Amino acid sequence: MTETKNASRLPFYLLLIGVFLISSFAVYIYQNRSSAASSDSSAASKDADDAVAAAGMSDAERKATEALVRAYILENPEIITEAIGVLQSREMAQRLESVGDAIKTPFAGDVAGNPNGDITIVEFTDYNCGFCRQTVADVDQLLKSDGNIRLIYREIPILKPSSRTAALWALAAAKQGKHDAFHRAMFAAGKPDDATIRKAAQNVGLDMAAAEKFASSAEANAELDNNLAMMQQIGFNGTPTFIIGNQIIEGAQGFDRLNAAIKKARESKS
């Protein structure tokens, strides 16, 4: 009878171990996040108590199970890092699912690289951002080394009022099929102001009257507002930010980091 009874409890023990593992990961992940850590820990403890009650475990059995779980985590601490990675990946995928296919539907003309590429990179940028300027060379290297990348630019003017002016002119350049050229010229011209914005526009051969008219249009302003709303919905607040597959990569990461993300995105599709 004892062996049968213990065998029937095995699934409950496994469930309990899973609860303890998840609880440990949750506390580890959130331990540096304000008062949320204590509430998360309390909720995890309650889940564990409920599991123990459901399993009909004695105090001795519970303590033995806790000791086993603790020993396993201490002997294999890498599982915490692995679990965090899995949780972060799932969280990123959920954040991107909230905007659906809209993120990969560019404003007309806001595409560089191969329009039929198998991997899409979405780059959120601000012309007042020094780190965005720094990534221009990295993105150029990516496009030159990999002819199967589709790059979508999304302007998010968040740093200064002049960021919005430059972004509106970038959309005007996109309307004339010259966004990529303006993007590079604008960063090469220095911090955006009326003089540098017009210089960049003239250098790439924009129809200045048409560009100025479109830059003040409701269509251009609505596009920027849409990009800002998308940024908030996805849940990031800085530039540059890259979306590659289900990965959200914030900051200037360099060619190698971006290239590795592209490789990972391709592998996940196969």
What confidence category does residue 13 fall into, taking pLDDT thresholds of 50, 70 and 90?
A: low
- What size, in residues, is the chain? 270
Instruction: Give the start-to-end residue ranges of the domains of the chain.
Output: 2-76, 100-269
Q: For residues 143 and 7, which has the higher predicted lDDT (pLDDT)?
A: 143
Q: Which CATH number fits domain 100-269: 3.50.50.60, 3.40.50.450, 3.40.30.10, 3.40.50.2300?
A: 3.40.30.10
For 36, the token pair is 């949320």
Query: Residues of the chain with pLDDT > 90: what percent?
Result: 52
User: According to the model, what pLDDT value does residue 75 have?
Assistant: 81
Of the listed ranges 53-62, 90-99, 250-259, the least confidently predicted one is 90-99
- Overall average pLDDT of the 85-94 stretch: 64
Q: Is the sign of the CA dihedral 117, 120, 126, 132 positive or negative?
A: negative
According to DSSP, the β-strands at 247-250 and 241-244 are: antiparallel
pTM, 2 dp: 0.69
Q: How far apart are CA 210 and CA 197, in angstroms?
A: 15
